Amino acid sequence: MKGFTRLLVTAMLFATVGLFGCADDGSDGVAGVAGASAYEIAVANGFTGTEAEWLATANANATFPVEACGTCHADGKSVGVDVMHASSSTGDIAVSNIVIDDTTANLVVTFNVKIDGANKTGYYDFVASDYRLTDVAGAMTRLDLSTDDGITVGLVAGTNGNYTLTLPGIGSLGTPLAASRYLIRLYNQADSALASADRPAGYRAMVLFDYPVAPITDALGSTSTSCADCHGSFGNGFHYGYPSYGGKTCTVCHDATVNGSVTPVVNNYPWLGEMVHGIHSSANMPAGQFALLRKDGTPRGDIYAIAFPSYMNNCSICHETGTPLATVIAEPMSYDLCVSCHGDMTGFAHLPVAPDHSGFTTATNCLLCHDGTTVPDTAAGFHNGLTTERAGLLWDGYDASVTQGARVNHQITGVVRTGDDLAITWGATVDGVAVDPCNTTATVDAPTFNAGYSVLKAFFTGDDPANADNGATSPGQPNSTNLDFTAVTGNTACVGNEATTTITLTAAEAALTGTARVALQGKPNLFFEPASMTTGTTIQVRAKSPIYDFAAADGTAAAARRSITDTSLCLNCHVGSLYQHGGNRVDNVELCVMCHNEASSEQNVREGYGVDASEAYDGKSGQTYGFKSMLHAFHASGEATKPIVVYRTRGIYAFAPTRDMLPNWPGEGSQAIFGSDDGTGAPVMQTHNFATAHYPRNLNDCSACHTSSFSAVPDQTKAIATTVYAGAAPWDNQLDDALQGPAAAACLNCHQSAAAMSHAYKEGWFPTYFENGRQTILDAAK
């Protein structure tokens, strides 16, 4: 048996002075330097034996396995998770009900401000700055109202979060200005004078409106909600923060020209298209990064290396359907447009040998060759027909696998158990019309399901999939059975528009009781032929994978699992890419946790490579890839003090702020795994991947992923503990797993200091194992 995971916990874990009770400020202490492991402390004090032997001794007097986190940190408590997370948030600011009255000589604008849904009453008392974007001599130009237009904006607070702005002299009875977009920044003077850490949420706001009409066509759309989908409605407060109208705000400064002949203000800000494209595609550029430049080409000093969570050439993610998207995809080829994503001419996969593009610049007239006949001349023309790594087809600014997949709804309707057989009934609709699941020829309205489909089977402990004692060869993993549509001998047959798939449980699965779950994993095929496509093609489409929960004993429907995460929130950022592996498991977190549960571990993979904790890139014997642990750690990796590394048979994936956190890391690409042995004395070669996730919101913004009814402190009568050491084979035996409390596992992937660890373990238990494994913990909490 390999040694117990080297938990880098300082000696304070066992000291009598600890963090008992509730700290008023909710702090978890400074990160500090990682100390000796608990095992090393024991050896230093005279213990002799292996880590596994020490673990057995240490557990002889294991404490009662209940976490006391909810006593202080439950929602509504003085230091509840909801309170402590909200306290460091910028707040969700919403400026709405903007009404323009131009019936007098003045332009009078009323509006409402809310912070986190509550009216911000009598709060703003100062106009910090005011600008307008307008067309001057054929060029968009930003003007300062007070300096360039001589307009001093008045601000008056009303009741119930309502405010009034007065712009004198430009109403219908005065001298109206040309089509303009107005941006007015409001402050609370007292709060703006405070140190940034002391300013309350929403101490400033922005009001944006067009009058008499918009001066530009908004490429993002009339609401620009696509920015808020990932970044949140207030944008984390960076660069003033932005309210719900998102990218429309940015155009006031970042679409203006430089030194126009009649431009009163020299605005050398970067162009919005280049800035947004460049930042979001920066990690894929030739240099692996993007340097933000001013319009005159001089560097600003801002360097980005962002990995976009979806596909940059799916324009519809940011550009709204209708005029905005149609305008963007019809944009003619130009050097500036193309390199805004590709970086430079070396960033294209298949440039022709002739003509040589390497010397092209912003002055190059690309349309001399890109005439739309010989060579595509628009953004759509160049991207149409490209495929994503998950079999998506890009067409006219969309990922057709996503848009066509939304038409298909397939559901599991029931399970009947007879002996060791499960009869699973399921069906599907397209645009709400029932279809034959056994169809063999894909058409526009009739999909096929007869290629690559299988049934995934998971079994619960408590309220979570754990797959104990199911015969699986990897920790915490479910088993699957392929669908076979062969007449007579297959396992799937159809009557009318209903399919029945009959599978036989293994002997280990047949003995299990409690709640079980089945899922259909696969992608339907549809024929796709839009008007702009010369010849149609059959494509795989991203239809949400269905699940069904039932009593393992007889197949009767089970109560729904507690609400934790909303897949639609994940899809706000991960359009067409949820998730990157397992292309047949589509857009359903409840399917994903069948594998990505807290009983999972890749310890068997590390041991298969011959790697122990002392040789691993993270100093561990194994790492769970349960979503609670893995996704918190992945998304927080840009600010983490410890790496997370997942060893898989198809690659090694490391997330950390820098590679320096990974001892013995050999670099990316195909590399020898440090410490590995293929059985002949030679190292095992494997693809190494490194990434730093730059989470686009505050890390404490739980609403970005979790449902409104989600409880941040897990219900210990339902939530299973997390495996930190998976024992030894057979891997489905979980009684030798060292377990970490469900609350500790949730919190410590973000709060990584030694003090936070000590606090979590003192209010719960040090990672250990129990006589009945997870069931001991669940029973203790009842």
Beginning with the edge strand found earlier in the chain, give each strand of the sheet holding 644-648 in spatial order: 644-648, 651-655, 685-691, 669-672
Helix, strand, coil share of the chain (percent; to 5): 25, 25, 55
The CA distance from 42 to 583, in Å, is: 46
Question: Torsions phi, psi of 628, nearest 5?
Answer: -55, -45
User: What is the three-class DSSP state of 110?
Assistant: strand
Buried b / exposed e across 733-767, counting CB within 10 Å, b at 16+? ebeebbbbbbbbbbbbbbbbbbbbbbbbbbbbbbb
- Region 76-97: mean pLDDT is 77
Q: Residue 351 has what pLDDT?
A: 82
Strands 464-465 and 454-461: antiparallel
Question: 444 and 540 in contact (C-beta within 8 Å)?
Answer: no
Checking if the pLDDT of 58 tops 70, the result is no
**Residues 709-745: pLDDT tens digits?**
888 899 999 999 999 999 999 999 999 999 999 999 9
pLDDT-wise least confident of 36-45, 245-254, 404-413, 721-730: 36-45
More confident residue, 464 or 81: 464
Tokens 């960076």 belong to 238
- Region 157-166: mean pLDDT is 94
Length of the chain: 782
**Residues 518-575: pLDDT tens digits?**
999 999 999 999 988 989 999 999 999 999 999 999 999 999 999 999 999 999 999 9
Question: Torsions phi, psi of 86, nearest 5?
Answer: -70, -30
- Region 299-319: mean pLDDT is 91
Question: Torsions phi, psi of 428, nearest 5?
Answer: -150, 155
pTM of this prediction? 0.88
Q: Residue 4 has what pLDDT?
A: 41
Element (H, E) at 492: strand 492-495
**Residues 197-239: pLDDT tens digits?**
787 777 788 899 999 999 988 888 776 678 888 887 765 556 6
Q: List, in sequence order, every beta strand (DSSP E) within 522-630.
A: 525-528, 537-540, 547-551
Where do the structural domains in the chain lie, given as residue ranges? 1-91+598-782, 92-269, 291-308+332-377, 401-563
**Residues 343-402: pLDDT tens digits?**
999 998 878 878 889 899 989 999 999 999 889 999 999 999 999 988 899 999 999 999
Q: Residue 271 has what pLDDT?
A: 82
Q: Residue 244 has what pLDDT?
A: 57
Which residues, at least 6 apart from 680, have a Cβ–Cβ distance to it below 8 Å? Answer: none
- Region 575-595: mean pLDDT is 89
User: What is the three-class DSSP state of 96?
Assistant: strand
**Residues 432-455: pLDDT tens digits?**
999 999 999 999 999 999 999 999
Checking if the pLDDT of 583 tops 90, the result is no
Average pLDDT of the chain to the nearest whole number: 87
Nearest CA-CA partner of 178 in 216, 230, 229, 213: 213
Q: Residue 758 has what pLDDT?
A: 86
More confident residue, 60 or 657: 657
Residue 314 pLDDT grade (very low, low, confident, very high; cuts 50, 70, 90): very high
- Which residues face 648 on adjacent strands? 651
Checking if the pLDDT of 32 tops 50, the result is no
Q: Residue 256 has what pLDDT?
A: 66
- Region 664-677: mean pLDDT is 98
More confident residue, 704 or 448: 448
- Region 406-433: mean pLDDT is 97
Structure tokens at 453: 């489909």
Q: Residue 109 has what pLDDT?
A: 98
The CA distance from 156 to 112, in Å, is: 12
The CA distance from 639 to 635, in Å, is: 9
CA–CA–CA angle 185, 190, 192 (5° rounding): 45
